[in-house]
Amino acid sequence: MTPAATTPTSTARTTDAAAGSSRGPAAGPPSDPRLEPARRWPRERWLATADGLLDAVRPYASPGGSLITLPGPVSGSGAWSDGLEGYARTFLLAAFRLRGEEGRDPAGLLDRYADGLRHGVDPAGGERWPRVDERRQAVVEAASVAIALAETRPWLWDRLDDGTRQRTVDWLAGVVGTRGYTNNWLWFQTVIEAFLATVGGPWEQADLDRNAETAESLYVGDGWYSDGRGRDGRRQSFDHYAGWAWHVYPLLHARILGRPLEEVHAARLRAYLGQAQHLVGSRGAPMLQGRSVTYRHAVLAPFWAGAVAGATPLAPGATRALTGAVADRFDAAGAVDERGLLPVGWHRRFHRVRQLYTGGSSPYWASKGFLGLLLPPDHPVWTDEPELPGPWREPRTVALAAPGWLVSTTPADGVVRLLNHGSDRAIEHALAPHADDPFYRRLGYSGATSPQLSAADVAAPLDSHTALLDAHGAPSHRDAVDRVHLDDAVGVSRSRVHWLDLPGATGAATGDDAGWAGHRLGPVLTTASVVRGPEEVRLAWWTPAPTAAPGRAPAATAPADLDRDAAWPADPGPWTVHVGGWPIAAATDDALRLERGDDRVRVVREDGTVSALRALAVRADGQPSPALDAAGCARREGADPFGAASAVPWLRTRTAVGPGQVVAALVLLGAEREPRLGPDPSVHVRTDGDGRPARVEVRWPDGRVDAVPTAPDAAAGTAGDTAPPTAAHA
């Protein structure tokens, strides 16, 4: 598949670090403990881990081996589809292992998966697979089957009987001519048809051309793809799919066709890895953000793809260090359970991370994280000494312009923090009641924390969230994110906020109200992050939405195809402001120590990790703004994949905040240390004639001043365009 054209990369400023070179003299001493995981994970251990995972699923296979239905929840596609998923995703792992070992097969994997294939494609058999017209999810799994058959072709496909080969072609051909792939799913159709073309099966050039055009329309720049379009055609859906789908499938597609990775894809992969390396902490903790996090090791797939394709800015030893650290982290955290399986979860089993499409077999897309097994034993990734990736060498803050993220890394404590001022996956209708998606619209994400995922926390978000509180104390939800500014120290964004009125919120649910929610529209809330090391000065202020009568949504927000009289009412206010800190989790509640004053709060875990908030005074034209003068902590049980107990520190104003009035807090996530010696940073605001912030400055004790733009600048823009929105798929 040949892309129509490349899209210019973002013009926002990035540092040399963001360009991604890990080469240089500062590789770290050989005894650096951050390099030890790589030494614990030579190629032999990766092989042994793959073999263990493949052996553990055998008891859950159907008699013929075509359906592998693993313990856990049933996906929205049903158990039949989940059984195909278990076969396809573990076959992918087996294929990487077999190809890298040139067909050596001590465990008899080829016979196992060949038998499963025969039963799965037999339309009259009792273990047949669902067709594409029966289960849409079959498209995803068919792509893994096609890739695995291509990688193992000399030892499996070429030895199959003609009848099985033809039935396999017939089953795969169900995808030919189908349409509607508007996100990473387009690559599934493309790789399936590529395999079909190599074995004499049907395929259509029109499918490939359409997919190439759609893929180009979703390329944003700097190696980043938006995984589908959202409201008003915006391209603001960024997460791990940018790596484990958009950059891995072009390589696998090229391998099916026996070609090198096309240069346009190689260049984009190289650019992406230059930025993605900032999203993995020096202790191996990858970012927990976006959907499908239960795929765990798949976060490593683009790093391995870069090494396989020779399209990476990381030195071989740096790739080895990063991948080994992540594998070691998941291993130590219990990602593989007592049965040898990967359960739904992040570390251990935790079903709240799942989406509708997640079933018990879904976690085995972790197979993509074993792509490095394609590299032979004498490849430099396996033979070179491990060395530190660039972002692990010193603290730094870097703007990732395409996704709109401001990323802060502190290698000493291994924490990476992501301040989100550009990604929202806003695929809902603007006036449809919808919650703030905890995986996309929180302000902060990290490799050491998770959004709180209980039903109550999704309905009323508090963690890493800045909100207006209504008259009942309910927090507003962040909607589509409008970018205002992003540089290597400052990120600013704004969003039209809203509130949900859920059944039973003001009384017991009765009648038919159990399945709906009400929706109240609010003003525009602007949030800014000024970052220095582990500290963030977080600022917030609200401004009125376009003119609206009390109780009526502004006509400007109502699409032309909607009866404007049906629009939701506007909340009249007044509102107080909530600033939520980083959530922090532990095995037990008593492992989280709370320290609190009127204007400050800290939660300290027994290992010394701290999440803290401290109110900052704001000087606005010589007059103080309302203060964050109430502090507290929300404690949770069972809401966090990092631990059974969790806590969210917060600050709030006791009094209502007026339009344009700025509130500020110092936010910290990191290792415990002595309290700051000397003054806090100060915040200074100059207002315009309407009382809105015209200029905001954060002044640090050492004299550094960071200006915070209050109006959108040309560099920030938006990752969207005016094309009509398209449906996104899981």
Rounded to 10 degrees, the C-alpha dihedral 376/378/382/386 comes to: -150
* Spatial CA neighbour of 286 closest among 440, 446, 398, 451: 446
Helix (H) or strand (E) holding 459: helix 455-459
Tokens of 3: 């892309």
pLDDT band at 505 (very low <50, low <70, confident <90, very high): low
CB 141 within 8 A of CB 187: no
What's the Rg (C-alpha) of the chain? 26
* 356/515 Cα distance (integer angstroms): 17
* Spatial CA neighbour of 293 closest among 235, 225, 343, 363: 363
* 186/707 Cα distance (integer angstroms): 42
* 529/400 Cα distance (integer angstroms): 14
CB 290 within 8 A of CB 730: no
| Per-residue pLDDT, 621 | 86
* Spatial CA neighbour of 696 closest among 530, 506, 477, 508: 530
| Per-residue pLDDT, 674 | 52
Q: Is residue 91 classed as helix, strand or coil in its secondary structure?
A: helix
User: Which one-letter DSSP state was computed for residue 175?
Assistant: G
CB 292 within 8 A of CB 423: no
CB 657 within 8 A of CB 663: yes
| Per-residue pLDDT, 549 | 46
Work out the percent of the chain whose per-residue pLDDT is above 90.
Answer: 82
| Per-residue pLDDT, 461 | 96
Phi, then psi, of 368 in degrees rounded to 5: -65, -25
CB 107 within 8 A of CB 54: yes
Q: Is residue 577 classed as helix, strand or coil in its secondary structure?
A: strand
- How many CA atoms, within 13 angstroms, populate the side-chain half-sphere of residue 600? 11
Q: In a 10 Å sphere around its CB, with 0-12 CB exposed, 13-18 middle and 19+ buried, how is residue 252 labelled?
A: buried
Tokens of 285: 């903790």
Q: What is the mean pLDDT of the chain?
A: 90
What's the pLDDT tens digit per position in 179-195?
999 999 999 999 999 99
For 45, 51, 106, 343, 373, the CA distances from 48, given in Å and listed in that order, are 5, 5, 12, 19, 11
CB 300 within 8 A of CB 279: no
Indicate the CATH number for domain 396-502+518-549+572-708.
2.70.98
| Per-residue pLDDT, 567 | 73
| Per-residue pLDDT, 654 | 97
What's the pLDDT tens digit per position in 86-142?
999 999 999 999 999 999 999 999 999 999 999 999 999 999 999 999 999 999 999
* Spatial CA neighbour of 571 closest among 674, 471, 686: 471
Q: In a 10 Å sphere around its CB, with 0-12 CB exposed, 13-18 middle and 19+ buried, how is residue 371 labelled?
A: buried
Indicate the CATH number for domain 16-392.
1.50.10.20
What's the pLDDT tens digit per position in 512-553?
555 668 889 999 999 999 999 999 999 999 999 976 444 444
For 40, 228, 415, 605, the CA distances from 412, given in Å and listed in that order, are 21, 36, 8, 17
Q: Where are the domains of the chain?
A: 16-392, 396-502+518-549+572-708
Tokens of 638: 């069972």
Side chain identity at 119, as an amino acid letter? H
What's the pLDDT tens digit per position in 486-500?
999 999 999 999 999
Task: Using the predicted structure, report yes or no on whether residue 557 has a pLDDT greater than 80.
Answer: no
User: Is there a common fold for 16-392 and 396-502+518-549+572-708?
Assistant: no
| First-residue to last-residue Cα distance in the chain | 23
For 103, 154, 466, the CA distances from 518, given in Å and listed in that order, are 59, 59, 21
What's the pLDDT tens digit per position in 654-681?
999 999 999 999 999 998 765 555 689 9
User: Which one-letter DSSP state was computed for residue 544?
Assistant: P
Full-prediction pTM beyond 0.75? yes
